[in-house]
Amino acid sequence: MRIALIVLRVVAAALVLATLSSTIESNQWWVRIWDFPRVQLLVALVIVGLLAAWRDRAFGRWLAAGCLLAAGWQMWRIYPYTPVARAEVAIGAHADIPADRCFSLLSFNVYQDNRDFKRTAALIDRVDPDILLLMETDLPWTQAMAPQLARYPHRLLAPTDNTYGMILATRLPMTGGRTEIIAEPDTPSMHGTLTAGLPFRLIALHPRPPHPGQDTEERDAEIAIAARRAARERLPVLAIGDFNDVAWSHTSQLFKRIGGYLDPRIGRGPFATFPADYPFLRWPLDHIFITPEFAVRSMAVLENVGSDHLPVHAELCITPGNTGNAAPEAVTREDRRDTQEVLDDYAVDTREEAQD
């Protein structure tokens, strides 16, 4: 019994410390990773807090209080991505919008080491999206998807063997399509102006995640630069991809506000996509952000087809009329300051790496 109480106390303290660590403003990987498992930490805090109150007569009330406060913080961060929050994007049939202004998209991180090409090919054949974004595509993946890609008149291909390859293919008219390195070498992004009755800008991102030896200066800078570009655009903007960041993180929320985006997941659920094989551990890493001119007919996370991510499918329309969407959140002075700090940190990190 005594050993069990010690373990319970250690676990409770660790969960509270993990929550406190997530409040630190830092680019260090060991801080930023705690942005990801907020749902899992919330569940663990509630369970451990209840156990402490029930079983630990000496410190139970204090441990339970600490767990309750930490759980409240976690809940506050993920609350917008629960069904009880107010939605900011109206999802529905939008039958009044002309068909030529509507299109479908499929965004999927295929997992480079996954060689079950047939399941992904079958998914693309079945869904038949108008816009297809594939990530972690090396040369074998590019070659294996050739029959599917042949159906698309516009293609951007950037195969790499570092897990950051990318393919963008569309049957919508596209101009100015290009592959660009925004912040980190060998980490491509893709951009173009597409037309579905009306023109819009498409941004596809797949920055690198935080892990030992990889802090977040480059990832955050790529996201911030893309947000600033969207804010300067006169056209509607659609941003998609595996951002290697969760929807509720400060960086993702800053991207959303600076870029003038809306998130269809708010008020509906996290639409978690990674890891595909472990439903109770999943995080929302694969994103679809839209400016208010887009109407959303549907959005769904699809079945596992062999990757460590799940595919995301959506049907969108573009209209100059009323979409029923909320207005984007206002950009604050603090948001602009935080964005500049992200870019300044990236500039310092880049100079230090050049000197090394």
Do 290 and 333 lie in one domain? The reply is yes
Per-residue pLDDT band at 356 (split at 50, 70, 90): low
Residues 21 and 117 in one domain: no
Token pair, residue 188, equals 């491509």
Does residue 258 form part of some domain?
A: yes
Backbone φ and ψ of 312, nearest 5°: -120, 130
Helix or strand run (H / E) with residue 200: strand 198-205
31, 163: one domain: no
Instruction: Mark whether 43 and 167 lie in a shared domain.
Output: no
Pair (29, 156) in one structural domain: no
**11 and 141 fall within a common domain:** no
Q: Which residue has the tokens 């498409």?
A: 202
Asked if 290 and 196 count as a contact pair (C-beta separation under 8 A), the reply is: no
Enter the tokens of residue 111.
């997992």
What's this model's pTM, rounded to 2 decimal places?
0.93
The reply to whether 13 falls in a domain is: yes
Residue 108: CATH number of its domain: 3.60.10.10
For the segment 113-172, what is each residue's pLDDT rounded down to a tens digit? 999 999 999 999 999 999 999 999 999 999 999 999 999 999 999 999 999 999 999 999
Specify whether 73 is located in the same domain as 122.
no
The answer as to whether 354 is a domain residue is no
Residue 346 within any structural domain of the chain: no
The residue among 304, 244, 310 whose CA lies nearest residue 272 is 310
72/117 same-domain check: no
Read off φ and ψ for residue 224, nearest 5 degrees.
Answer: -65, -40
Domain assignment present for residue 347? The answer is no
| 279: in domain | yes
pLDDT in the model for residue 1: 63
72 with 196, same domain? no
Q: Do 166 and 206 meet the contact criterion of CB atoms below 8 Å apart? A: yes
CB proximity list for 259: less than 8 A, separation 6 or greater: 226, 227, 228, 230, 231, 237, 239, 289, 291
Radius of gyration in angstroms for the set of CA atoms belonging to the chain, rounded to a whole number: 21
Q: Is residue 203 a part of any domain in this protein?
A: yes
> Cα(331)–Cα(340) distance, rounded to whole angstroms?
13
Range of the domain at 251: 99-337
Take residue 314 and report the two structure tokens written for it: 């959506």
How big, in percent rounded to 5, are the helix, strand and coil portions of the chain?
A: 40, 20, 35
pLDDT of residue 350: 76
Cα angle for residues 178, 184, 190 (degrees, 5° grid): 20
How far, CA to CA in Å, does 306 sit from each of 105, 246, 279?
A: 20, 22, 14
CA–CA distance, 299 with 92 (Å, rounded to integer): 10
Is residue 224 within 8 Å of residue 254, measured between CB atoms? yes
The domain boundary, picked from 31, 52, 81, lies at 81
Give 53-73 pLDDT, tens digit per residue: 888 888 888 999 999 999 999
In a domain, 292, yes or no: yes
Into how many domains does the chain fold? Answer: 2
